[in-house]
A and B are shown apart, each in its own frame.
Chain A
Amino acid sequence: MKSSIILKMAKRLTTRVACCWAIGLAAAVALTTLTASTPAVAHGERSQQAFLRMRTLNWYDVKWSKTELNVNDEMELTGKVHVFAGWPQAVARPGEAFLNVGEPGPVLIRKSAFVGDVPVPRTFSMDVGKDYEYKIVLKARRPGRFHVHVQINVKDGGPIVGPGQWITIKGDMKDFTNPVTLLDGSVIDLETYGIKWVYIYHFLWMAAAAAWILYWFMTKGIIVRYWQVKAGRAGELIGPNEKRIGAITLAGVLLAVLGFYAAANKEFPRTLPMQAGLLTGISPIDEPSPTVSVRFRGGSYTVPGRELHIKTTIVNNGKEPIRVGEFTTAGLRFLNPDVIPQRPDFPDYLLADRGLSVSDPSPIQPGETRNMEVIVQDARFDIERLSDLAYDTDSQFGGLLFFFDPSGGRQRVEIGGPVIPKFRSDVTL
């Protein structure tokens, strides 16, 4: 009866399953190989909470040495980062951090990376309240137009993305090379190194496995074996002859494993374990303490108007008059056009060259203490979703205020604190 059921099922399934399988396989192959992929245009930095971007790492002086490259050309991504002293309690502190690049896959490879003058191919430690200078050397690999950010990943805190710039790469990826000199002096191309052997090694074993499976499948298949096992004749299926074949195969497999292992050791007699470890004690930027101090006296954010009002008390302890020229936060730069009339070279989507004003534009004289309101207003604040500050659980802003003196000096001061959102009943936002 059982065999009859199976025979009937087999007959029914024959054409239907074969047909479904063929169509399904064709669809899967088509979907996975033929569908054109579209380039990524951003890396989700806007989706990160506003307080996270404003009060963790403040990026400034970010520069991309080139925005157009040919394959194999190198560029530098440099800048400075201030580790916010008022680091949010909700985010792990950057005791373990990694200098990274935000880009859609390795379109540029990272040839080297430095924090200060220390190379950082590994994880390093940063202290809150300090500023660090970084440099990443990138080499163009894949043609296209890509958005390239600086980024620092913080352990248990996640990636914190800095400003991004569009980089255009021309040429052909087939021309890309990544030469590396080994300790023995030989030079290899890491882009392709060892890949052919990896294919051969893996596919040899896979072919052997396929042969083993097919051998047993071809001798009595599946259904006939099932009938025999059900009939209590399982012992007939694996007899001394089958065991002999198995033993010979196993001996061959183990000999091959030994042979490959010995050959690898002979070919590469000097190998090292992978290198890992935390780099600590990296020196922050060494510069004199600012002669200007800023006390935060309260702030508000007018949601419909996208205006951040910061009440401050500024004390100028320096020898020259100073003026507030820039406020930077979350990679955005809001400039006071009275102080910085020339538009600097910076990605447009992050630069509000008329986005900053102050209640009293006259210079703050040496020794003067002044209560002043700093107003940040620009659509970019909203486009970059910093307005969501009003809906954060920890509604505090943060950023850097830059002061300029007549002789070209610049000082930066961290500022941050709670802001009160202001809504208007007749406007929904």
Chain B
Amino acid sequence: MSTSTEAGLPPGKTWKSKEEFLGCVILTDWILLVVLFAVLLGSFHIHYMLLAGDWDFWIDFKDRRMWPTVAPIVAMCFAAAAQAFFWTRFRLPIGATTVVLALLIGEWINRYDNFWGWTFFPINLVFPSALIPMGFWLDIVLMISGSWLVTALLGGLGWGLLFYPINWPALAQYHQAAEIDGVLLTLADLIGFNYVRTGTPEYIRMVERGTLRTFGKDVVPVAAFFSGFISMLVYFLWWKVGQWFSTTKYLELEEV
């Protein structure tokens, strides 16, 4: 079975000892973890910045309707795909948690290094959306149910519903109000107004636009349910995308 010709090895053996073999496996595990994490960080970050974009960049874009609708839906893509990979190939219940942690690490590097370090936007203008508990939810629903169908239905709905309550503890303080020159503004509005963004005029915000007025001021639950429903559909699709890419067939070279 072995093809090794290295000197010093017992005949027919690839490793000198069991300890060396286990050491190699553990080291490769770590390398895999770090490489996978970096790949997911980069790819998910690009995906999320392109699709969530301003909704995630700025405090004054984080409204009660568009933000809790858009952000979870576009975040679901990589969470589902990563679950397909980690669960079907390794039975690891960490797919969603890993991608949202990777995304947040990437975002925080970006926000701190670029938005604050280079451009001096204060962190309270540019902190990202919190997503970690949603990752826990999705991973543990999959682990307990063992079913991607249940995870899509239950996990997807919870994914959308949890988003706003998870973010509220960081956001609430910026929804206190102040009167500026006779105009009522929340602190979130005021931060956006004070700290000049040359290319981000106020009119590109989409603050509670739309025709959904039946539920009065309680727009968050409606937006969250809608977000959860679409997240279910996105989960189905992206689980399949994840499975499609979870293969070693591209590495199965003859010489190896």
Contact = CB atoms under 8 A, between A and B. Distances in A.
B184 A43 contact: no
Contact of B101 (A33, A210, A238, A253): A210
Interface stretch (B70-78, B193-201, B234-242): B193-201
Interface stretch (A262-270, A294-302, A308-316, A371-379): A262-270
B25 A224 contact: yes
Interface string B159-188: 000100110111011111111111111111
B101 A206 contact: yes
Contacts of B26: 221
B188 A274 contact: yes
Given A101-B196, A198-B170, A246-B140, A223 B175 contact: no
Contacts of B185: 121, 275
Interface string B15-42: 0000001001111110111110010000
Contacts of B113: 32-33
A183 B176 contact: yes
B233 interface: no
B232 interface: no
A110 B194 CA distance: 5
A285 interface: no
Q: Is the interface of B mostly helix, strand, loop or mixed?
A: helix
B249 interface: no
Interface residues of A, number: 110
B120 A105 contact: yes
A190 interface: yes
A427 interface: no
Contacts of B127: 198, 202
A46 to B, nearest CB: 15
A224 B32 CA distance: 12
A173 interface: yes
A27 interface: no
Contacts of A429: none
B3 to A, nearest CB: 8
Interface string A274-313: 1110100000000000000000000000000000000000
A407 interface: no
B92 to A, nearest CB: 5
Given A5-B256, A206-B104, A14 B31 contact: yes
Interface in A161-212: 173, 178, 180-184, 188, 190-195, 197-199, 201-202, 205-206, 208-210, 212
Given A43-B198, A119-B183, A229-B91, A264 B124 contact: no
B150 interface: no
A192 B122 contact: yes
A257 interface: yes
Given A190-B191, A193-B124, A274 B60 contact: yes
Contact of B168 (A33, A243, A264): A264
Q: Which of A222, A228, A238, A264 gathers most chain B CB within 10 Å?
A: A222
A223 B30 CA distance: 10
Contact of B122 (A195, A206, A229, A237): A195
A264 B180 contact: no
A87 interface: no
A253 B136 contact: yes
A247 B144 CA distance: 7
Interface string B73-111: 000000000000000111111100110110011001100
Given A103-B198, A209-B101, A225 B92 contact: yes
Contact of A250 (B21, B38, B101, B140): B140
Given A190-B187, A270-B176, A123 B203 contact: yes
A261 B164 CA distance: 10
A30 interface: no
Contacts of A153: 201, 203
21 contacts: A14-B28, A14-B31, A98-B203, A103-B198, A106-B194, A113-B193, A119-B182, A121-B181, A194-B124, A194-B174, A202-B108, A205-B132, A209-B97, A213-B97, A217-B94, A225-B91, A238-B146, A246-B143, A247-B140, A247-B144, A273-B208
Interface of A: 1, 4-5, 7-11, 13-14, 17-18, 21, 32-33, 37, 43, 96-98, 100-114, 119, 121-123, 141-142, 151, 153, 155, 159, 173, 178, 180-184, 188, 190-195, 197-199, 201-202, 205-206, 208-210, 212-213, 216-217, 221-226, 228-229, 234, 237-238, 242-243, 246-247, 249-250, 253-254, 256-258, 260-261, 263-265, 267-268, 270-276, 278
Nearest 10 pairs of A and B residues by beta carbon: A153-B201, A271-B175, A10-B28, A205-B132, A98-B201, A276-B207, A119-B181, A221-B29, A237-B91, A260-B169
Given A13-B31, A225-B92, A274-B189, 10 more contacts: A13-B28, A21-B34, A43-B198, A112-B181, A119-B180, A223-B28, A238-B91, A238-B146, A274-B175, A276-B208
